[in-house]
Amino acid sequence: MKKEFVRYIRSLQDTLTEALEAVDGTATFQEDQWERPEGGGGRTRIIENGSVFEKGGVNISEVHGTLPESMQTYFGVQDANFFACGLSLVLHPKNPFVPTVHANWRYFEMYDQQGDIVDQWFGGGLDLTPYYLFEEDVIHFHKTCKAVCDKHDDSFYSNYKERCDSYFYNTHRNEARGVGGLFFDYLKKTPQRSMQDWYDFVTEVGDSFLEAYLPIVKKRKDLSYDQKQRDWQEIRRGRYVEFNLVHDKGTLFGLKTNGRIESILMSLPPHVQWRYDHHPEPGSEEEKLLNVLQHPKNWV
Amino acid sequence: MKKEFVRYIRSLQDTLTEALEAVDGTATFQEDQWERPEGGGGRTRIIENGSVFEKGGVNISEVHGTLPESMQTYFGVQDANFFACGLSLVLHPKNPFVPTVHANWRYFEMYDQQGDIVDQWFGGGLDLTPYYLFEEDVIHFHKTCKAVCDKHDDSFYSNYKERCDSYFYNTHRNEARGVGGLFFDYLKKTPQRSMQDWYDFVTEVGDSFLEAYLPIVKKRKDLSYDQKQRDWQEIRRGRYVEFNLVHDKGTLFGLKTNGRIESILMSLPPHVQWRYDHHPEPGSEEEKLLNVLQHPKNWV
């Protein structure tokens, strides 16, 4: 399973960066290979200053070794060894009408002292963060998510959609980071479902990413925008930073356990603004977005 | 003590905002008075888009009531009532040659069920975050800090200077947020020192703020700078955001206990950049600053 999923994320990284470069048309991904002193490493691919993508990363990592202390406490185990691998991506488009997107698919194994697997699970998802609300775009994104889910279980979409809404939530602002998508974790073997079943589900979600996101990019990337709309995008990006640095478990875990900082913080947007007590004008397009973020809704 | 310190911070807020407006010459502080549903409130004063100060706040608050649950755990008490008041300021100048400054002076009381004081202490300090290193400016700032400390105790400066260096430290970057200053907390009554002694010390530190900071502002505010220097400032401001959102106990406490978000996050800079794996050129002025942040030194 480990080998199979590693092979999958490596190949998916190639597929994604190639397709994204083709859409961008100008910039290419720069690759950094890195090693983790305690075991494993990763392949970080970053795009900057593109025609479409102002900043983004499509990163994979495979790490293993002794479970860091903070994670031992978290999982309630002692002296365990682990293996973890995954693909993480964040794309911050230049045009405020193109939404930011985040996705992640990961696999985790935990071993006893004899090296036998004592626990294993998949996790991940994908979610969309628009600056302006085009309902048809959000519906398209969620429909794609739902179609993959429905192939596996009728309950998956509503379940993982709801978990996405509650996870990517800035509690200190009382608003969602974006318009959601899917979020799942601890997908473990059950009497009804094998690890192979979960593998099939997670990889099919991964395979659906371009279909979920690219049509939106293509439809909006050439719309013209003004400085006010760009300012709004940069202010909203501030909320993205707030979520990632204050609430996101993966980011904080990485920062506090000596992860590769530059690969983790590739998620932060290139240009960001904070203004004191900023509120969009009543009835504006900006306020329309805020209303949806404050009251997450069903899109399909 | 409570009344006396509240009177002090109210008057200090006036003194500071008046002096800062005079230096800025263009922008004035806008005031927001707010109330805390659970008891107390504050007076937030924000300056934006000035000639000198791009964004900043000089805020006071006086809050009281039942100690929030998270704080009960933190202090190891149950069902306590508390009173807390303080002044917090952060100033982000426009010119990259003028350092950002932060300061805070606060007083805390804890009561038993009969309303008797069971604990009380002062805390606070001031610290400087330059984007370019003018050694004479840093020496001036620290000399001013040391002069106030030395009036009270020979050990204060070295002790509180060191605590400042270790508190304002981005562990995930292995670098200090800035070049330090003073940081002290839990200044409580001892056989040698009464609360009135601590009051005198803390208010004298407060009174020294303008003397520590304004001469630096005046000396650097009209230096000309180019886009590269401005970019460097915005990238370094990103580290400021990282510290405040990931590590700063006061910010996180506020965000997680329903504090007034806009007053807390006034500390975030107006324009910020994140670039992937950015490193200053070897031998550059930018690298000179980094070296000092990576190896905090003694300035006086």
Q: Does residue A99 contact residue A178 with C-beta atoms inside 8 Å?
A: yes
CA atoms within 13 A on the CB side of A121: 10
Across B23-42, average pLDDT: 95
Chain A contact set for B271 (CB, 8 A): 234, 271-273
Q: Tell me the average pLDDT of chain B.
A: 95
Put simply, whether B276 touches A (Cβ < 8 Å) is yes
Separation between Cα atoms, residue A93 and residue A217, nearest integer Å: 9
pLDDT at A196: 97
Range from A33-37, B148-152, B175-179 carrying the lowest mean pLDDT: A33-37
pLDDT range class, residue B72, cuts 50, 70, 90: confident
Chain B contact set for A273 (CB, 8 A): 270-272
C-alpha dist (Å) from residue B15 to B7, B11, B21: 12, 6, 10
Residue A233 has pLDDT above 80, yes or no: yes
Across B118-131, average pLDDT: 97
Q: Which amino acid is at A92?
A: H
Q: Which one is predicted more confidently, B284 or A71?
A: B284
Shortest Cα distance, chain B CAs vs residue A277, angstroms: 6
Across B215-228, average pLDDT: 98
Put simply, whether B265 touches A (Cβ < 8 Å) is yes
Q: Which amino acid is at A145?
A: C
Chain A contact set for B266 (CB, 8 A): 276
Range from A211-215, A256-260, B41-45, B279-283 carrying the lowest mean pLDDT: A256-260
Q: In the annotation, is B102 catalytic?
A: yes
DSSP B231-258: HHHHHHHHHHHHIIIII-HHHHHHHHTT
pLDDT at A262: 95
Residue A178 has pLDDT above 80, yes or no: yes
pLDDT at A80: 85
pLDDT range class, residue B83, cuts 50, 70, 90: very high
A 234-253 near B (Cβ less than 8 A): 234, 238, 241-242, 245-246, 252
Chain A residue with CA closest to B45: the answer is A276
pLDDT at A158: 98
pLDDT tens-place string over residues B155-164 = 999 999 999 9
Separation between Cα atoms, residue A178 and residue A296, nearest integer Å: 9
pLDDT tens-place string over residues A149-162 = 999 999 999 999 99
Query: Which helix H or strand E contains B269, and what residues bound it?
Result: none
pLDDT range class, residue B179, cuts 50, 70, 90: very high
Across A193-206, average pLDDT: 98
Torsion sign (Cα): A237, A239, A240, A242: positive
Chain B contact set for A265 (CB, 8 A): 242, 274
Q: Do A270 and B271 touch (CB under 8 A)?
A: no
Q: Which amino acid is at A250?
A: G
Across B247-264, average pLDDT: 86
Q: Does residue A138 contact residue A299 with C-beta atoms inside 8 Å?
A: yes
Nearest to A172 among B242, B255, B269 (CB): B255
pTM of the model: 0.95
Nearest to A268 among B48, B270, B274 (CB): B274
B152 by Cβ neighbours in 10 Å (0-12 / 13-18 / 19+) ranks as middle
For A76, other C-beta atoms within 10 Å of its C-beta total 6
Question: What six digits make up the tokens of A178?
Answer: 């974006």
C-alpha dist (Å) from residue B169 to B102, B162, B234, B240: 14, 11, 19, 10
Q: Tell me the average pLDDT of chain A.
A: 95
Q: Does residue B185 contact residue B123 with C-beta atoms inside 8 Å?
A: yes
pLDDT at A7: 98
- CA-nearest of A287, A177, A166 to A239 is A177
CATH fold label, A2-294: oxygen-dependent coproporphyrinogen oxidase (3.40.1500)
Separation between Cα atoms, residue A246 and residue B249, nearest integer Å: 12
Enter the DSSP assignment of B67: P
Residue A172 has pLDDT above 90, yes or no: yes
pLDDT range class, residue B241, cuts 50, 70, 90: very high
Put simply, whether B90 touches A (Cβ < 8 Å) is no
Q: Do B172 and A255 touch (CB under 8 A)?
A: yes
C-alpha dist (Å) from residue B280 to A111, A253, A294, B235, B275: 42, 27, 41, 11, 12
Torsion sign (Cα): A286, A287, A289, A294: positive
Torsion sign (Cα): A189, A190, A196, A201: negative
